[in-house]
Amino acid sequence: MPKLNMKHLRYFWAVATHGSIARASQELHLTPQTISGQLRELEEQMGTKLFGKSGRSLVLTESGQLVFSYADEIFRLTGELQDVISGHSPASGIAFKVGIAMVVPKQLAYRVLAPVLALPEPVRLVCHEAPLTDLLADLSVHKLDLVLADSPVNPALNIRAYNHVLGESGISFFATDTLAKLYRDGFPRSLEGAPVLMPTAASALHRALDLWFNRQGIRPRVVAEFEDRALMKTFGEAGVGIFTTPTALEVDILAKYDVALIARVDDVKERYYAISAERHIKHPAVSAITESARLDLFATRA
């Protein structure tokens, strides 16, 4: 491929950032025809379509998403370089973009990611929460640096990504003090017919709990299912039903929510993963995350 024309790349980046050629032309003080022509030249040079049509809107193709992820980093670094040359410190650290699967507990995500903010070199943490399949798609085109999940990458997705185990924990059952007193005695048999809040079927925990209930011969009454486990805890705190969380977070849950512990179960495990596009961990932020999780969060509270 011929040498990349950075002017064309900037026009592409502006269109992708602003969402249309018209808005980009206003920002760049150029005619829409000029920008359209430059985009066609860039696509011809790269040998691939960068934009597609969705109604009247332009949308990035898969190749366009990949090119945009690199262009966004190039022009952000260019701005930082200009600040440094001018004698100014960059306004923020290097961006570290993390996708968090919706089923991952918020307290766990915070505990896992907190060491990033204590690194010697400043890092600007960018968190994006979505279903795991969406996050893995973004990881595959380098829109994310890392994904936190409760299950490894499914080989059937045909995505080049690598699983790094952060740790595992048993689970604890919580409810309001009234419900906890009612169901604590005789646990786990006491859960027969008890109101239970569950993560959705897409969660690894949902499948693990179903198996555990079957082994115990228990049929609880599932009141509601949630993708967002913070919302599940809010319903639990309101007295709607019993919910679970990793035992590693037990102290955090009791401190934050007005609930009581019913019991701990060690033969149901929640395992968490950091998923990266690289087989070997190189990014210092990723190294800090994995090391802290293994040596602190899952080592001392499990």
Q: What CATH superfamily classification does 169-268 receive?
A: Periplasmic binding protein-like II (3.40.190.10)
Whether residue 135 contacts residue 144, with contact meaning beta carbons closer than 8 Å, is answered with yes
Provide CATH code, domain 94-167+272-300.
Answer: 3.40.190.10
- Ranges of residues in the chain whose predicted pLDDT is under 50: 300-302
For residue 23, the model assigns a pLDDT of 84
Which of 233, 268, 273 lies closest to 98, judged by CA? 273
Q: Which CATH class is domain 6-82?
A: mainly alpha
Q: Shortest CA distance to 135 belongs to which of 151, 119, 121? A: 151
- Contact 178/139 with Cβ under 8 angstroms? no
Residues near 220 by beta carbon (within 8 Å), at least 6 away in sequence: 191, 192, 193, 194, 195, 196, 213, 242
Fold equal for 6-82 and 94-167+272-300: no
For CA atoms 129, 294, 268, 184, the dihedral sign is: negative
Distances (CA, A) of 273 to 147, 172, 233, 254: 8, 20, 22, 25
The structural domains of the chain, with segments of one domain joined by +, span 6-82, 94-167+272-300, 169-268
